[in-house]
Amino acid sequence: MRPADTHAWMLAQAIELLQGANQLHRQFFQLGSAGDVPRWEPPVDMYGDAQALCLLIALPGVAPERLEVSLEQRVLTVYGERSLADDFAAGTILQLEIPYGRFERRVLLPHADYGVADMVLRNGCLRLTLERQT
């Protein structure tokens, strides 16, 4: 195979893979109602030390009143719903990449003895501070 043919073949394979990934993404985040079944899981960063944990959860466009947090044993659960903006009713959706609908994220904590010390939703991120109970 000549180098030009190799490059064309590699480009065609890359395009085919991207198209397949886009199709899977559209199927996973398809429009429509799914009832009470969570449709997506927000990404979470977690860090901490011996006394406390901090979790940063990406929740763009989620209103505080549409958000719930529970802590049972070693499992922290964050769930709620992100609605489409009212602006979407005025036109045709041309691109929709930020997930919407019901979400739920469960995080297994390293220990069972944490309590929620602080919870702040700002700039599309929920910041939870969990302190170890003594």
* pLDDT per residue as tens digits for the range 18-31: 887 777 666 565 55
- Which range has the top average pLDDT, 5-14, 22-31, 56-65? 56-65
Separation of alpha carbons 38 and 24, rounded Å: 17
Mean pLDDT score, 67-78: 96
Structure tokens at 125: 């991120």
The pLDDT of residue 14: 85
The pLDDT of residue 8: 84
What mean pLDDT is reported for the chain?
87
Residue 125 has pLDDT above 70, yes or no: yes
Least confident of 15-19, 31-35, 80-84: 31-35
The whole-model pTM stands at 0.71
Separation of alpha carbons 46 and 25, rounded Å: 26
Separation of alpha carbons 76 and 30, rounded Å: 27
- In terms of Cβ atoms closer than 10 Å to its own Cβ (0-12, 13-18, 19+), residue 68 is exposed
Distance between first and last Cα of the chain: 68
The pLDDT of residue 27: 58
